[in-house]
Amino acid sequence: MVQNREVWGSKFGFILAAAGSAVGLGNIWKFPYIAGENGGAAFVFVYLICIAIIGFPVLIAEILIGRTTQKNPVGAFTALSHNKFWISIGFLGVLAGFLILSFYSVIGGWTIGYVIETLKGSISSFNDPAEAGELFNALVGNVGWNIGFHTIFFALVMFIVIRGVQGGIERASKIMMPILVFILVILIIRGVTLKGASAGVMFLWVPDWSKITAESILIALGHAFFTLSLGMGAMMTYGSYMSKKDNVVTSSAQIVTLDTLIALMAGLAIFTAVFASGLDPAAGPGLIFQTLPAVFSSMTGGTFFSLLFFLLLAIAALTSAISLLEVVVAYFVDEQKWNRKGAVIIFGGITYLLGIPSALSFNVMSGVTFFDLNFFDLIDFIASNILLPFGGLMIAVFAGWVWSRTEMMAAAKEGAERLFETYPWFEGIWLMFLKFIAPVLIALVLLNKLGFSITG
């Protein structure tokens, strides 16, 4: 067989692409608002623990499965187990990628739409969040605006993925990730130099332990998964293009660190600005699209910072969206022998079409509900709340219990011999987290999401 599967150009390229997948709307839109709703610092602390004890061990396992088999999720489980059950877990991953991308692109479209609104000058005239909210409602209520920007966002995603692993995904990540960090640093400097910014810093750094509830722990745990792109094979697919000379453990640590730092930095930039304007940190999902524009309106140079902010959000969303499409494409390229371009156009096209009812959920289809959820929320619920935790659970169980211990450790040590020799305890701890702690905690989140509330 001709072995011409694509690979990353360098270890650094892989780290940036994987960090690009991890750093997304989850970090800049969702993390700040759930931290805001759940009391700030105490929640951040719980979240950091979840990242360390669940996110990190499962990320190593997911990347390792990909690197060892050099396959998409379906091919990877086929290669390692030949068992129908595990192969269907791979299919669920491909399905989840398809579903998540369809609605992720709608929000990705909004971020580009807000860049354009800022350029048109609409973001500079609000007196309070209610006025910014009116614009937001008018925009998302507009069919053409929603579908138009969904189309633009999706076209960009397809354009990058068509160009392949090195020429498309890696190159785009190498350009966009440094810009993202740079913009974030500027926004933090602006935030912390505002009068009254210290209240925002305190909100994020000084914990009020009474704010921790069972509910907020579950939210933190679920988010740890989403933010690291775990549970559906995105990291597996990116790992499949990784060299066996590279160290999976330190690479995972770098990805986790970048993702976490960027979430914290986004929180810092946003809460300093929100507190300095005396606005509500617990505004929920509208924090970014309603509270922040009001903040920008009241700030000197607000239009400029608004432009930077929504550009930041668009870049983050784009580098994540390409990882979602890549999972689907890798499956059709590896297993069905499609060429990359055909797979991107056909399956990207189908995913795009599935996104349309999501884009319409905020306007003409807002009354169409399934189990009380509109189409957008339904797809989000199935993918993020059911398929991802379930997939994550299965990846932990597979690595912890099914994959032969000797084979797995041999694979993990390739490129990481020194690390496992220098820190002999690491192996045992990693295995313990994979076998027991991660599966039990993930199962709790999953049951809770399905409505078996342990919080009463």
Q: Single out the residue of 195, 251, 234 nearest to residue 21, CA to CA.
A: 234
Binding mask 283-322 for ligand TRP (x = CB under 6 A): -------------------------------------x--
CA distance 333 to 286: 39
Exposure string of 416-453, with b = 16+ CB inside 10 Å and e = fewer, is beebbeeeeeeeeebbebbbebbbebbebbbebbeeee
Q: Single out the residue of 150, 153, 131, 127 nearest to residue 286, CA to CA.
A: 131
Residue 294 or 322 having the CB closest to ligand TRP: 322
Contact region with ligand TRP (CB under 6 A), list: 22-30, 84-92, 172-180, 430-438: 22-30
Q: Which helix (H) or strand (E) holds 373?
A: strand 373-374
- 303's tokens: 């239009």
Binding mask 188-227 for ligand TRP (x = CB under 6 A): --------------------------------------xx
CA distance 92 to 98: 10
Contact region with ligand TRP (CB under 6 A), list: 23-31, 54-62, 124-132, 396-404: 23-31
Residue 22 or 221 having the CB closest to ligand TRP: 22
Cross-strand partners of 370: 373
Q: Which helix (H) or strand (E) holds 370?
A: strand 369-370
Instruction: Give the footprint of ligand TRP on residues 224-253 (CB under 6 A).
Output: 226-227, 229, 231-232, 234
- 164's tokens: 């392949």
For position 388 contacting ligand TRP by CB under 6 A, the verdict is: yes
Per CB under 6 A, the list member of 14, 15, 17, 26 interacting with ligand TRP is: 26
Per CB under 6 A, the list member of 8, 18, 27, 344 interacting with ligand TRP is: 27
Expressed in angstroms, the distance from the first to the final Cα of the chain is 57
Per CB under 6 A, the list member of 13, 20, 24, 400 interacting with ligand TRP is: 24
Residue 197 or 288 having the CB closest to ligand TRP: 288
Site residues for ligand TRP per CB under 6 A: 21-22, 24-27, 226-227, 229, 231-232, 234, 320, 323-324, 388
